[in-house]
Amino acid sequence: MTQAPATGRIARFDEPGKPFVIEEVPLPEVGPGEILVRVSRANICGSDVHAWHGTFVTRGLGGQLPTVLGHEMVGTVAELGAGVATDSDGRPLQPGTRVVFPYFFCCHSCRNCLAGRRNACLNLRMAMLGRADEPPYFVGGYADYFLLPAGAVVYTVPDSVPDEIAAGANCALSQVMYGLERVDLQLGETVVVQGAGALGLYAVAVAKARGAKTVIAIDGVPERLELAREFGADEVIDITDTTEKDRVKTVRRLTDGQGADVVVEVVGHPSAIDEGLKLAAQFGRYVEIGNINLGKTFEFDPSRFVFSNKTMVGVSLYDPPVLSRALAFLEEYRDRLPFDRLAAACYPLEDINAAFAAAEAKRDVRASIVPSFDGKP
């Protein structure tokens, strides 16, 4: 077996407003139950951009600086710690096996884990929250390696699902799948998706796969609305040439005057919430995923919420087994949906600052860091 190199690179994030710094650091010793993963691809998620600006990670979640950002990733097994032989579905693991894993790590023994609420683990650990200036160094996806802790959930990637598609499974796809499971989306129901970025496009696709009768996507970027149709949206609404009142009327017209059974918010701005609640039908369920920045507020009339028996469900992270179902979804729909368009732009690790600038400007639906990328097509 080829001997692994003694060092690897990380894109160290020192503080908001400062460029990432590429640093060569020693590889960690792989302890019992741990897995050293060689990162093949790590997308730039919206939460990574928030963290880049100093929100999300350093506020509210107890993150430390310097750190390594990046969590929406796929990689191959570089080294298995003692006692690790299979993934969480019982499939064999060996060096070179392609894997994905939740980017958060549960203790499996606290009261929330035992109650099946592992995404609310009282001892939760997460990628991007560890320090990059001390071992194991590889604490986020923007690096050559990532050290998966003992007891982590991990799944083998099907051969038919390439890295550019698998990379989005452990965050965006699993998150919206879990959200729609939480509100028990039923066959024949109607769905509105606020926002047609990667999360929104996945939400459209999953809603249709679960049997939604009508799915309506709302966004202000024509290219995203076009892509939403390719992912299964029956109707799209452009916010740039409509008012809130127009959008409410349109949704009512498209849902036989009722409003949507389920509305999914993945815009990430509180201003969308009041409108989204207006789009929901009597007994409608509102899935709130996008707003992750602390201290942001909105105003709404609670009587409309009460008299119409609506439900709002906040969705943070997901139950880890959802990731296995996400991989099955990708495997089944690989040739039916344009998943490859969600990560069209690749950047080598050393160009991470350019990649983040492109992500912030929304020039790509999802930009990806590919550590071994040489810039050639």
Lowest mean pLDDT among 27-31, 93-97, 256-260, 302-306: 302-306
Length of the chain: 377
Q: What is the mean pLDDT of residues 268-288?
A: 94
d(CA 251, CA 260): 7
For residue 262, give Cα distances in angstroms to 196, 256, 285: 16, 15, 5
Q: Running DSSP on this structure, what letter comes out for residue 128?
A: T
CA distance 71 to 45: 8
Task: Name the band, by pLDDT with cuts 50, 70 and 90, for residue 364.
Answer: low
pLDDT tens track for 111-162? 999 999 999 999 999 999 999 999 999 999 999 999 999 999 999 999 999 9
d(CA 340, CA 231): 12
pLDDT band at 1 (very low <50, low <70, confident <90, very high): very low
Greater confidence, 302 or 142? 142
Mean pLDDT of 182-210: 96
What pLDDT, on the 0 to 100 scale, is given for residue 290?
Answer: 86
Record the tokens describing residue 96, joined without a space: 């070179």
Statement: residue 375 has pLDDT above 80: no
pLDDT number for residue 340: 85
Between 3.90.180.10, 3.40.50.300, 1.10.260.40, 1.10.645.10, what CATH number should domain 7-157+344-369 receive?
A: 3.90.180.10
> CA 269 → CA 127, 183, 242, distances in Å?
24, 21, 18
Residues 353 and 11: their CA atoms lie apart, in Å, by: 10
Give percent above pLDDT 90 in the chain: 80
- Is it the case that residue 286 has pLDDT exceeding 90? yes
Q: pTM, whole model, 2 decimals?
A: 0.92
In order, the DSSP letters of 309-335 are: T-EEEE--S--TTHHHHHHHHHHHHTT
pLDDT at 288 over 80: yes
- What letters, b where the CB count within 10 A reaches 16 and e where it falls short, cover 124-156? bebbbbbebeeebbbbbbbbbbbbbeeebbbbb
- Is 60 or 15 the better-scoring residue by pLDDT? 15
* Per-residue pLDDT tens digits for 303-347: 888 999 999 999 999 999 999 999 999 999 999 999 988 866 899
Give residue 56's pLDDT: 55
pLDDT at residue 5 tops 80: no
Q: What is the largest CA-CA distance in the chain?
A: 66
Domain 172-314 is of which CATH architecture?
Answer: 3-Layer(aba) Sandwich (3.40)
Residue 232 confidence (pLDDT) above 90: yes
Distance from C-alpha of 43 to C-alpha of 34, rounded to nearest angstrom:
23
Q: Residue 285 forms beta bridges with which residues? A: 262, 311
Token code pair at residue 329: 């979804």
pLDDT tens readout for residues 20-41 = 999 999 999 999 999 999 999 9
The rounded mean pLDDT for the chain is: 92
Per the model's pLDDT, the better-predicted residue between 259 and 375 turns out to be: 259
One-letter identity of residue 4: A
For CATH 3.90.180.10, list the domain ranges present in the chain. 7-157+344-369
Give the model's pLDDT for residue 272: 92
pLDDT at 202: 97
CA-atom Rg of the chain in angstroms: 21
Main-chain phi, psi angles of 39, to 5 degrees: -75, 125
Q: What pLDDT shows up at residue 62? A: 59
329 CB neighbour count, 10 Å cutoff: 21
- Average pLDDT of 100-107? 96
Amino acid at 166: A
Judge whether residue 376 has pLDDT over 50.
Answer: no
Q: What is the pLDDT of residue 59?
A: 46
Which part of the chain has CATH 3.40.50.720? 172-314
